Every structure is written in structure tokens, then in C-alpha cells.
Structure 1
Amino acid sequence: MAKRTHKYSNKKLSRGEPPNFSGQHLMHNKKLLHEIVDRANLSKKDTVLELGAGNGALTTVLNERAGKVLAVEYDSKFVEILKRKAGQYQNTKIIQQDIMKIHLPREKFIVVSNIPYSITTPIMKMLLNNPSNGLQRGVIVMEKGAARRFTSKFVKNPYVLVWRMWFDLLYVKEISREYFSPPPRVDSAILVIKRKVKPIVSYKYYATFHGLAEYALKKPNTPIDNALKGIFTSPQMKKLKRSLSIKNETPIGCLTESQWGIIFDTMTKYVQQHLWPRLKKKKQQ
């Protein structure tokens, strides 16, 4: 019989593991746990979503601060531990489910989680790809390299640029491997997410902007003239660069969020709609 593999990394899975299982690294440092929850600035009015609750070390801090806690965990052994620990808290709901198959809360919510590292990007896409969902802010412990990539001034990935039109992503600090059991092979970090008070692009233009981002960032080091060729005419491009206050050789990946807002506004106002890049439909796996 063929071995099942990890849905995203293609690594072999052991019996009983879900397709996105990565091996959880559980936090045990109480000071760190409280710092994470403090950064979430919770109140009794808040609904908190915890993805990958593990043995409940973070859950037991969350359910004392938040109005409602939705703790998601797949491993049945951890679920039993969570039920014992959270039994005295009526505000906590344990959800035994594959993280990537859950339905996000319909109401406004805050994410506070120590997520499985091998599905960091899929989890972030689930949370941030739809700007009209209820996510207000988040504090997430993740692999350091991913946190750096999501917050880098030079943007390589279209989806990261798309997130930044509606959310601020802040790299907070590195976390020692000694704070986890078992210690992860890679360094960890805390990333904070905050919904922008005023989005750079209206929510209704999500797909349109995503199409522009995919088109322009095929090669992030490409000069802006070449990256946006096919959308803007030469005269339009000259005016656009003056508005952006940039030179011809500026790589497209170096542009700021506000500059992308100017590009998008210029495209929607002055470029015929049939020339707007279309968001490519992803094939179902």
C-alpha cells in the first residue's frame, strides 16, 4: 500500500497523522506564554482562535483573558489533555479537527497560536487571503524564516503583498529553541498581525489587486518598466513613475505598500479594464 504524504511538503506520514501534520513543538516557558497573550491585548469581549493547541499550555492562559476560546487540535491524545484542563472553563471549546479544514469564526476574532511550522504559509493564507473575514489581529509563533519573509521590505511573493493591503505584519522578536519541547530544528519568532484601520485597497477589489500582484511580481528583481509592461502605455508609465518618485531601474519588489496603492489606483482609473491582469484560478488538488 502506498505511503501517504504530507499535503504540502510531500514528506511521508506515520499512521494516524493528518495530511498537514508537522510534529508540534510545545511551548513550556510561562513567561513567554504570558508575553504572547499580553501582546494580543485581550478582553472578555474577545473571541480567540488557537490553531494547534497541543497540550493546552497557551490555552490555559487564553481562557482566563478572553470571552471565548476556540482551541483547534487534531491529535486525540492532546485533545483529551485539553478537555481535562479546560473542563472548568465554560468559555473554551475544544475542536478536534485538521487545521486546514476548519471554518473560521463568523464573528470578529483574534488569532493567538503556536502553529505547525511546515504549514505556516497555508495557515497564513487561510487567515489573510480573504480581507472581508472577521480577523482583527493576531499573535503567532512561527518559523523565523517565514516571519522574516512575511515582513521583509523587499517583497517576493504576490500573496504577501496582497495581505499588506489590508493587514500590518510586524516581526516582534526571535524565540529561543530552549522554550520548546521538543526543540525545533529551526529558529522561531513572534509575528503580530493588525488589520489596517484604513485599507490601502478596498476589500471589494481583492481579486483585481491579487491579479495585478501576480502579474507584476513574476520576477521581483525586474525593473518597474518591464514588470508593468502590457498594462500601462509608455506615456502612462512616465506619469506613474513621477507619481511614485522612482527611477527606471527600481526593482518592482522594492516598492512600498503606499506606492502599490498608487499603481492600483492609476490602473483602475486610466487603464481599460480588458488590460487589467486577471487572477489565475488555482487547480483543485
Structure 2
Amino acid sequence: MKKQNKRNRKIRKYIEWPNFSGQHLLHNKRIINDLIQIANLTSNDTVLDLGAGKGALTFPVAEKAGKVIAVEYDPRFVEILKKKAEAYPNIKVIQQDILKLHLPKEPFIVVAGIPYAITTPIMKMLLHQPANSLQRAVLVMEKGAAKRFTSYPITNPLILKWRMWFDLGYVREISRENFSPPPKVDSAILIIRRKKKLSIPYKYHDSFLGLAEYALKYPQLPLYEALKGVFTPPQITRLVRNLGVNRNIAICLLNEIQWGIVFHTMVQYVQRPYWPKAKKHKNN
């Protein structure tokens, strides 16, 4: 317990203001090594470390990857990172708000313990434009968020959209004792992989979100009720037959493959002016 308190005091001396970002620095070397193994890095990879802190992940990742971009907002941590990075020509340190970062145009991987307070905005930044260059990500985040992003049924239209183009997997829990300062909740590892086989082309991502937002406004509604403003009754009958489900199934119980069938049925049989429009999102 005394060792943990000493570690926390050491971290806090580099912070001039309260931890508004929700940043908790992972210090367990075994877990850090596990994250790097899960990421399966090679010397050809460009890696983003979002919320790099003092570089607990940055420097071990740099031993495996060809290029590491360490993004950190806290100037005290940035100073530490830059000093340490002098011995690593493949590390670039950027002092910036993560959410204002321009993602690399070349293929990239993310390995990061992201700030809890901006977890969903970071996920939006990475996944909202599915035609970007993100290949995969290994993220440490609050356990509840990791569960929400990977659970069934899918009731959130944004999460459904992300999962149409990316596989999101819950790896395992990480105890709060492995962080400084310790968060109030446990964390988890989330892995993101770009789907190899797409059911919907990237160009339709905004149109799909419009359909998802419309249909999931009331996630527990029967399928025929949730979609009746988009499809005519005969089209609903055709759709139900193609899906192989009962028309009374709750709309939220459809899986990603079935949602692909719903979308393609709309494209084929519903005139475009009648497609539901997506709400405006920050990362549209």
C-alpha cells in the first residue's frame, strides 16, 4: 500500500491541475507487454498512442513498430516524453488535444490507454469515417464502456454503425490497482479490427446511420413497426422473408449481417428521397 501511495505522489507532482481528462496511467509492465502482443506489431507499422502520459506504452511499442506518434496534452508529460524520445528516432511527440488530431493518411494502428472522460468521442474519431486508414486498435478503457461497445442486443445507432465496418471485441478486465492514480472503476482491454468482408460499401456509411437512427429510436419495437415508415407492407413481408425472422422480433435483436440485408433491401426497393436522414454528428 505504501509503494502504491509513493507511486501516486510521483505521478501527481507532474500535474498542475485536476485530472479533468480522466487520464489514468497504466504502470503494470506485464499488462503493457500483453497489449503489445495483442496488437501484433511489426517494423512496418505506424502506431498512435493517444494520451501517452509518461510513455509507459510509447517506448515499449517503439521497440516493435516502425513509427510511433505519441499524443499528449499535459505539458509536463510532453516534456518528459520528448526527453526520453531523444534516444528513439522513430517516436514523434505531439502536444495536442486528442480530439483535434488529424489521423494519419497512411495505414495505422492505435495502442493506447485512452482518457476515460473522452472515451466515446475518441471512438467516434476513430470509427465514424470507416474509409479512414485505421487497421486495428488495442485500447484500455473503462470496463463499462468496453462492455457497452461489444454487447448484444445493439440499441445504440452509432455503435451499430461502427460494428458494421469494424469488429469490436472485449478481451479482459484490468483491475483499477494497475493505474496511477487509480480510477474509481475497473478497466478493460478492447480490440478493434477492420472487417475483411463488408456487407455495405464505405460510401453508404452516413445513409446506414440514418436508417439505424430511425429504426432504433425505440429499440424494443417489433421489426415491422420500427421500419414501417421506410418500407411498405409488401416490402416488409419481403424483408422478413429474406431475413428469416418473425416480423414481431424486436428490431434491436438483429445482428450486423441482418442489418446489411435491411439496408440493401432499402437501397433496392425504396427511392432515395425516402431514406431516413442521419443526424449531424461532430465527426461526420
Q: Same fold (TM over 0.5)?
A: yes
Aligned residue for 2:231? 232
Q: Which range is displaced more, 104-113 or 220-229? A: 220-229
Matches within 5 A, 1:89-100: 89-100=88-99
For residue 248 of structure 1, what is the amino acid of its counterpart? R
Shift of 1:281: 2.5
Residues 63-120 of structure 1 show CA distances to partners (whole Å, capped at 9, x for unaligned) of 1010000000000110111112221000000000001111001110000010000110
Aligned residue for 1:123? 122
Q: Which range is displaced more, 267-276 or 93-102? A: 267-276
Aligned residue for 2:138? 139
Matches within 5 A, 1:1-285: 21-282=20-281
Question: Taking structure 1 as reference, are residues 278 and 46 closer, same or farther at Cα in structure 2, changes over 3 Å only?
Answer: same
Mapped to 1, the partners of 2:211 and 2:20 lie a distance apart of 33
Higher helix share: 2
Listed as ranges, the gaps of 5+ residues in structure 1 are 1-14
Shift of 1:273: 1.5
Q: Which range is displaced more, 238-247 or 55-64? A: 238-247
Shift of 1:162: 0.6
SS in 2 for 1:184: coil
Residues 135-156 of structure 1 show CA distances to partners (whole Å, capped at 9, x for unaligned) of 0000000011111111112111
Mapped to 2, the partners of 1:74 and 1:36 lie a distance apart of 23
Shift of 1:248: 2.6
Mapped to 2, the partners of 1:33 and 1:283 lie a distance apart of 32
For residue 97 of structure 1, what is the amino acid of its counterpart? Q
CA RMSD of aligned residues (A): 1.7
Mapped to 2, the partners of 1:64 and 1:79 lie a distance apart of 20
For residue 34 of structure 2, what is the amino acid of its counterpart? E
SS in 2 for 1:231: coil
Mapped to 2, the partners of 1:267 and 1:92 lie a distance apart of 47
Q: Which range is displaced more, 236-245 or 187-196? A: 236-245
For residue 53 of structure 1, what is the amino acid of its counterpart? A
Shift of 1:133: 0.6
Q: Which range is displaced more, 178-187 or 275-284? A: 275-284
Identity %: 62
Mapped to 2, the partners of 1:66 and 1:155 lie a distance apart of 35
Instruction: Judge conservation of contact 1:211–1:277 (CA < 8 Å) in 2.
Output: yes
Mapped to 2, the partners of 1:103 and 1:59 lie a distance apart of 19
SS in 2 for 1:35: helix
SS in 2 for 1:111: strand
Mapped to 2, the partners of 1:195 and 1:126 lie a distance apart of 15
Instruction: Judge conservation of contact 1:230–1:275 (CA < 8 Å) in 2.
Output: no
Mapped to 2, the partners of 1:21 and 1:46 lie a distance apart of 32
Shift of 1:249: 2.4
Question: Taking structure 1 as reference, are residues 282 and 29 closer, same or farther at Cα in structure 2, changes over 3 Å only?
Answer: closer
Shift of 1:26: 0.6
For residue 168 of structure 2, what is the amino acid of its counterpart? L
Q: TM-score, normalised by structure 2?
A: 0.91
Instruction: Judge conservation of contact 1:21–1:116 (CA < 8 Å) in 2.
Output: no
Residues 27-79 of structure 1 show CA distances to partners (whole Å, capped at 9, x for unaligned) of 11000001001100000000000100001111111110100000000001101
Mapped to 2, the partners of 1:201 and 1:282 lie a distance apart of 20
Mapped to 1, the partners of 2:208 and 2:64 lie a distance apart of 37
Question: Taking structure 1 as reference, are residues 45 and 94 closer, same or farther at Cα in structure 2, changes over 3 Å only?
Answer: same
Mapped to 2, the partners of 1:44 and 1:213 lie a distance apart of 39
Shift of 1:239: 1.5
SS in 1 for 2:138: strand
